[in-house]
Amino acid sequence: MKNIAVILSGCGVYDGSEIQEAVITLLAIAQQGATYRCFAPNIAQHHVINHLTGEVSEEESRNVLVEAARIGRGDVEDLIELNEKEFDAIIFVGGFGAAKNLSSFALDNDNYSVNEQVLTAAKAFAKVEKPAGFMCIAPALLPLIYPAGVKGTIGKDNATAKLISAKGLTHIDCDVTDVVVDEAHKIVTTPAYMLAESISEAAVGINKLVKYVLAFSK
């Protein structure tokens, strides 16, 4: 049975993992006959957003690993413990946490960087040519993990795509219900909530992403 490492970045679309994307991903993996384990870096969130008002909660701080445990029903592991030898593939869930906690994309635009723990984990999978899936804004990580020219999508947001392309991504516009596949690097990307207007729309692309990632896992 194939085993997938799922990388989370907190809990909540505005400051962590997009919860619906995360749950759809875990469900798709299970329904398609594989298993998963969830991981997140044990670091402080960039900030905390009140998801009711959209405002920054100035006096509050939260931990990415602790928050991610809400999604994993307590079953989430520290990213530094991730061993690529135990898995067939890796999938990065979207949400602003991918652009605020896993990387600085939301803060530094085209001058962004990726968290060292995240970079180490992702490159370990890339080095041994294991498949990877990235959804929503998570494909922003791609050009800092893989060689220049790597293919991926964040949907059809030209301004955002241009910033990521400046780092080396070959961006391909993509509908919410579809995926972009980089055969050479065994990478699958889908827009998810970069374009989705409903959970059902997001689910179509995410289910395809999981299907392709599992197919790449020999």
Q: Distance between CA atoms of 212 and 75, rounded to whole angstroms?
A: 25
Q: Distance between CA atoms of 206 and 202, rounded to whole angstroms?
A: 6
Tens of pLDDT, residues 104-119: 999 998 899 999 999 9
Of 205, 70, 185, 190, nearest to 134 by C-alpha is 190
Instruction: Work out the average pLDDT over 88-116.
Output: 96
Helix (H) or strand (E) holding 77: strand 76-78
Tens of pLDDT, residues 132-155: 999 999 999 999 999 999 999 999
- Residues annotated as catalytic (active site), given as ranges: 136
Q: Which structural domain range is residue 91 located in? A: 3-216
Of 37, 94, 97, 92, nearest to 67 by C-alpha is 97
Q: What is the CATH number of the domain that holds 14?
A: 3.40.50.880
Tens of pLDDT, residues 50-76: 999 999 998 899 999 999 999 999 999
**What is the pTM assigned to this prediction?**
0.97
Give the count of domains, the chain: 1
Of 151, 67, 157, 141, nearest to 105 by C-alpha is 141
Look at residue 218 and tell me whether its pLDDT is greater than 80: no
Exposed/middle/buried for residue 70 (C-beta within 10 Å: 0-12, 13-18, 19+): middle
Is 199 within 8 Å of 209 (Cβ atoms)? no
